Amino acid sequence: MKVLKAKNKIDGYKTLVAEVDKLPFSHSVIDAEGFVKLYNSITETMNWPLILLNGHLRYGNKRLTYAKMLGYTHIEVVNVNDDKELERVRVMTCWKRV
């Protein structure tokens, strides 16, 4: 089992380990330069776990792409249950997208 772990934990949430192949993979826009930047930023760990809303991937498509391309079988995630909590977690992880 090859797990892509997160450096940081999100206060108030249990970090879970999900199978990469079972996560709902969706559209991810990343160019070659962006992928190189992502690749260089993740050495052994990514900064934050992926964020799921009721089990569906909401934030982290590029990190999931990275994990799939580099042969990771599992990845750390957190699961939130509603839009209000999703926004709170997004702000906590400094994700700038609105």
What tens-digit pLDDT sequence spans the chain (98 residues)? 999 999 999 989 999 999 999 997 766 666 778 777 777 777 789 999 999 999 989 988 888 988 888 899 999 999 999 999 999 998 888 655 44
Got the DSSP string for 25-82?
-------HHHHHHHHHH-SSEESS-EEEETTEEEE-HHHHHHHHHTT-SEEEEEEE-S
- Distance, in Å, from the CA atom of 57 to the CA atom of 55, rounded to the nearest integer, reads 7
pTM metric for this prediction = 0.84
Q: How many CA atoms lie within 13 A of 38 on its CB side?
A: 19
